[in-house]
Amino acid sequence: MLLNNMIKAIFFDIDGTLKSFKTHSIPQSAIDAINEVKQKGIKVFIATGRYFKQIGDLDGLVFDGLITLNGAHCINSESETIFTNPIPRGNIDALLHYHSESFLFPAIFITEKKELINYIDENVKEISLLVDVPLSPVGALSEADKEEVLQIDAFINKVQEKEILEIILTDCDASRWNPLFADVNVIGNSKRTGIDKFLEYYGLDLSETMAFGDGGNDVEMLKHVSIGIAMGNAGDEAKLVADYITDSVDDDGIANALKYFGII
């Protein structure tokens, strides 16, 4: 299938898509493929739930923009913020009150400039090891509340998630790529939001887009772009909405899909 003249922008999730959970690295086949894509003049972007300081070097790959925090913070290639989408202050105040009066769970508050977690348990440690990032600094969540909070990583189960969204974080929604925690953002925010911001920024059309993902927080992105590609190791949510399912991240899934569609 030859689409090499149609696609002008490709968006890549990191964990389980670009980076293997087994090796914590990007396969050489993906590095070579993305560099070849860039040589053809196609723009490439990161689209992740990660905080931008957690993204790291990415094996020397250079991207045209970063969609971080599931679209709540978009950063251009000059490291300038072009968009933020904060959680309403009233929701944050309600959650802080809930933490002081009721059930306490680990929560990472992430702003444009910093992240802070109230305490660390075994679930937090497990996720930190899984994605190979340092543990967040521990402190009072009220300290992070001095700035606009863009995302909350809440270490809660789905029953707790439902209760909190219905009663406390009423202007928020949650997405998951792992059962141990949920990414909480303002309603309507997703990687789709970030894609639209970068298309506007670069003057590109949605019909010229492709995206790769594997998790629940990739669903809106895969549905939104012209060609949504789920990794072979993706969860069912992502596979159900994808236009194409490629091989797993550890079996050269990115390179193989780009070859299948004639991009490289």
Q: What structural domains and CATH numbers belong to the chain? A: 9-84+189-260 (3.40.50.1000), 89-186 (3.30.1240.10)
Question: Would you state the structure tokens that stand for residue 80, as one six-digit string?
Answer: 């300038």
> At residue 161, does pLDDT exceed 90?
yes
Query: Looking at residues 70-74, what average pLDDT do you find?
Result: 97
pLDDT at 57: 85
- Residue 234 half-sphere exposure, CB side, CA atoms within 13 Å? 31
Judge contact between 146 and 161, C-beta under 8 A.
no
pLDDT at 99: 73
Query: Model pTM?
Result: 0.93
In this predicted model, which residue has the larger pLDDT, 145 or 172? 172
Q: What is the pLDDT of residues 11-41, one digit of tens each?
A: 999 999 999 999 999 999 999 999 999 999 9
Q: What is the pLDDT of residues 111-157, one digit of tens each?
A: 998 999 999 999 999 999 998 889 999 988 777 667 899 999 999 99
- Give residues with Cβ within 8 angstroms of 85, minimum separation 6: 71, 72, 73, 150, 185, 186, 189, 193
> At residue 173, does pLDDT exceed 80?
yes
Query: Looking at residues 179-201, what average pLDDT do you find?
Result: 96
13 is a catalytic site residue: yes
Query: Looking at residues 211-237, what average pLDDT do you find?
Result: 97
Q: What is the dihedral of CA 256, 261, 263, 264, to 10 degrees?
A: 40
pLDDT at 4: 59
Look at residues 72, 92, 87, 101 and name the one whose alpha carbon lies nearest to residue 142.
92
Give SS3 for 255.
helix
Residue 213 dihedral angles phi and psi, to the nearest 5°: -160, 175
Residue 103: band (very low, low, confident or very high) from pLDDT cuts 50, 70, 90: low
Residue 100: band (very low, low, confident or very high) from pLDDT cuts 50, 70, 90: low
pLDDT at 5: 72
The mean predicted confidence, pLDDT, of the chain is 93
Name the percent of the chain lying above pLDDT 90. 86
